[in-house]
C-alpha cells in the first residue's frame, strides 16, 4: 500500500532557529513530491520536486528530493513566528491521486 | 484567497443524518477534488471530477457520493453519518487534470454528535 511518512510529528523552536522537516515515501509509479503549508485552513502550495538532487528555493525555504532513498526534506532557515503551521508533503503518482503524509506541526516562539 | 469557495463553513449534525457540502471551483477550472482531513488520518483524497465526469476515486466510503454539475460546481453528499465522519472536508480545483496545480478551498468543518 502506498504511504507517505513525515517526521517529526511536532516541532517547537525559537525564532531564528533552522529546522529540517522530513518526508519519506513508498509509492507505486511515483512522479513528484509536493510540499504544502497549512496555517488556519486550506493548504497552500510550496514546492513541487520531480528530479532528484535539485534544490528548490523560495526565500528562507528550500527543499530537495532523493529518489534513490525515497525521501525529501524541507528546510526553513531563520524561522519566524509566521512560519508556524502544519507542513504537509504529498506524493503524486502517475494516477494523479495525491497521497499526503499526516504532517509536521511547527511552532515558532519569539 | 484561492478563489475556491466552500459552503457551509461549519456544520453540526447528529449521527444517522445526511448532509451536502458544496464547492465552487476557481473560474475556468474544470477539475474538482474532494479531500477529508481528520486528526488521525491526515488529508485523504476522496474523489475527482473533471468537466462533469468522475475521473478518479480514492478512499471514499459507499455512504458518500459526489457529483459535478454543468456549471462546474460540485457537491459532496454524506449519509448515515457516524461520529468518525467528523472532519474537515476540503475541495480543490485545477484547470485540467493537473493534480499538482490544485488550489484548495477553505474547507467545511463537519461535526457529528
> A88: which 3 cell numbers?
504537509
Q: Do A42 and B43 touch (CB under 8 A)?
A: no
Quick one: closest CA in A to B57, which residue?
Answer: A97
Q: Which residues of B touch A43 (CB under 8 A)?
A: 43, 90, 104
Q: Per residue of chain A (110 residues), what is the pLDDT tens digit?
A: 899 999 999 999 999 999 999 999 999 999 999 999 999 889 999 999 999 999 999 999 999 999 999 999 999 999 999 999 999 999 999 888 999 999 999 999 99
Q: How far apart are CA B112 and CA B43, in angstroms?
A: 18
Question: What are the residues facing B37 on neighbouring strands?
Answer: B43, B88
Q: How far is A14 from chain B (nearest CA, A)?
A: 26
Q: pLDDT digits over B45-59, tens only?
A: 999 999 999 999 998
Interface subset of B 10-69, CB within 8 angstroms of A: 41-45, 48, 56, 58
Alpha-carbon distance of A71 to A65, in angstroms, equals: 6
CA distance B26 to chain A (A): 14
How do A71-76 and B31-38 pair as beta strands?
A: unpaired
Q: SS3 helix, strand, coil % of chain A, rounded to 5?
A: 5, 60, 35
Q: Are A67 and A8 in contact (CB under 8 A)?
A: no
Burial A20-51 (b: 16+ CB within 10 A, else e): ebebbbebeebebbbbbbbeebbbebbbbbee
- Minimum-distance CB partner of B99 among A88, A96, A103: A96
Between A and B, how many CB-CB pairs are < 8 A? 48
Amino acid at each position: 500500500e502506498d504511504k507517505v511518512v513525515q517526521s517529526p510529528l511536532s516541532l517547537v523552536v525559537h525564532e531564528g532557529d533552522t529546522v529540517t522537516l522530513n518526508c519519506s515515501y513508498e509509492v507505486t509509479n511515483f512522479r513528484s513530491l509536493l510540499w504544502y503549508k497549512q496555517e488556519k485552513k486550506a493548504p497552500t502550495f510550496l514546492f513541487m520536486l520531480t528530479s532528484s538532487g535539485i534544490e528548490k528555493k523560495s526565500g528562507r525555504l528550500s527543499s530537495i528530493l532523493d529518489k534513490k532513498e525515497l525521501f525529501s526534506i524541507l528546510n526553513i532557515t531563520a524561522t519566524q513566528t509566521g512560519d508556524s503551521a502544519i507542513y504537509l508533503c504529498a506524493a503524486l503518482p502517475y494516477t494523479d491521486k495525491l497521497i499526503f503524509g499526516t504532517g509536521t506541526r511547527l511552532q515558532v516562539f519569539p | 484567497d484561492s478563489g475556491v469557495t466552500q459552503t457551509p463553513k461549519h456544520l453540526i449534525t447528529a449521527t444517522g443524518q445526511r448532509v451536502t457540502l458544496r464547492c465552487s471551483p476557481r473560474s475556468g477550472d474544470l477539475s474538482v477534488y474532494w479531500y477529508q482531513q481528520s486528526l488521525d488520518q491526515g488529508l485523504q483524497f476522496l474523489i475527482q471530477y473533471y468537466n462533469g465526469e468522475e475521473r478518479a476515486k480514492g478512499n471514499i466510503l459507499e455512504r458518500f457520493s459526489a457529483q459535478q454539475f454543468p456549471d462546474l460546481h460540485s457537491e459532496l453528499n454524506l449519509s448515515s453519518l457516524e461520529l468518525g465522519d467528523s472532519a474537515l472536508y476540503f475541495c480543490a480545483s485545477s484547470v485540467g487534470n493537473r493534480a499538482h496545480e490544485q488550489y484548495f478551498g477553505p474547507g467545511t468543518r463537519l461535526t457529528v454528535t
